[in-house]
Amino acid sequence: MRKISIHCLGLALLLGGSIAVAQPPGVTLEMINTTLPLEGAPLAVAGSYKVTMEGAFNSAGLILFRPTDLAAFPAKDNLPVLLWGNGGCAIEGKGYSDFLSTIASHGFLVLTTTAIAGEKVRQENAADLLGALEWLSAENGRSGSPLAGKIDKSHIAVMGQSCGGFLSISLGGDPRVGTIGVFNSGVQPASANAGAAPASPFPTTEALAKLHGPLMFINGGERDFMMTTSHANYALVNNLPVFYGSRHGAGHTATVHHPGGGEFANVAANWLKYQFKGDKKAGKMFVGKDCELCTNSNWDTESKGLDK
């Protein structure tokens, strides 16, 4: 597959968001919008919690997805956090509502960005998600908050799809982040003439050395123009537990807009349950002699350093 520069790719991914730009060479809307056909595709598997989507208190640029009934937390269940970077680095995350609701239904607090009425539309950036981290601390201690004392701040994940995957890598070096998920994405080496060009808002492969894991790279197979970069990033990570999965025929948008987020929502939810809730059944999707994705003919997988 032809490599695409990080600058062009960033512009290309905006085509999937709410900002229109000139279409760069090598990337087409057809490539960006490839999805797994819905007919016959695995269904999203919801967890045991009903989910509420709501605006974040005193933070108009954030929306959250959480279990509606919080009575089980923290006595009977923990409430880890997922920060989500939207495809196209779109500021409006409501298009991922089904996908993020499925994850939240398994007992997670999920945060992403939303457009603020009256403000000029712009890209989502790493600072927005860092702001979500600060919001967590304030909300966990706010008197009257339904989340007061319930947020598991020791278990914070950051994941993102496409351009949002760049954001997950950007934030992955923050010591508060415990696991990272990079969907249909990956970073590239710094340009040889980077000093002569405007600074890119996106990280390069140098950022991979700053991550602390575990780490997961998931892509949509040959139809996903980021498959080669995704695997190359996996190959560069040798100091962390890391999983790589390539879903045949899924394409660049894969299943994130299937009902409930489809198969990719199941992968994200099970990874988080495995990492943050000690769920061995969920972990079987990624590790063990009969690893579910490893033995699934629809997937190519590799892993390094994961608990067996």
pLDDT of residue 191: 76
pLDDT of residue 102: 98
Residue 259 falls in which region: left (phi positive, over 0), alpha (psi -120 to 50) or beta: beta
Q: Is residue 23 part of a domain?
A: no
**Residue ranges making up the domain that contains 68:** 6-18+43-189+198-304
Closest among 40, 45, 86 to 270, alpha carbons compared: 45
Chain segment 67-90, per-residue pLDDT in tens: 999 999 999 999 999 999 999 999
The 3-state DSSP class for residue 169 equals helix
pLDDT of residue 27: 77
Q: Is residue 103 part of a domain?
A: yes
Residues 6+ positions from 18 with CB-CB distance below 8 Å: 88, 90, 91, 92, 115, 121
Q: Is residue 215 part of a domain?
A: yes
Q: Is residue 34 part of a domain?
A: no
Chain segment 239-262, per-residue pLDDT in tens: 999 999 999 999 999 999 999 999
Q: How far apart are CA 308 and CA 180, in angstroms?
A: 19
Q: Is residue 33 part of a domain?
A: no
Backbone angles phi and psi of 169, in degrees to 5: -70, -40
Instruction: Report how many domains make up the chain.
Output: 1
pLDDT of residue 194: 54
Q: Is residue 54 part of a domain?
A: yes
Q: Is residue 160 part of a domain?
A: yes
Q: Is residue 255 part of a domain?
A: yes
User: Mean pLDDT over all residues of the chain?
Assistant: 90
101: tokens are 């609701």
Residue 222, exposed/middle/buried by CB under 10 A (0-12, 13-18, 19+)? middle
pLDDT of residue 6: 38
Report the CATH number at residue 274: 3.40.50.1820
Q: How far apart are CA 31 and CA 224, in angstroms?
A: 7
Q: Which residues of the chain have pLDDT under 70?
A: 1-25, 192-200, 308
Closest among 272, 270, 243 to 178, alpha carbons compared: 272
pLDDT of residue 98: 98
User: What is the number of helices (H) and of strands (E) in the chain?
Assistant: 8, 9
pLDDT of residue 26: 79
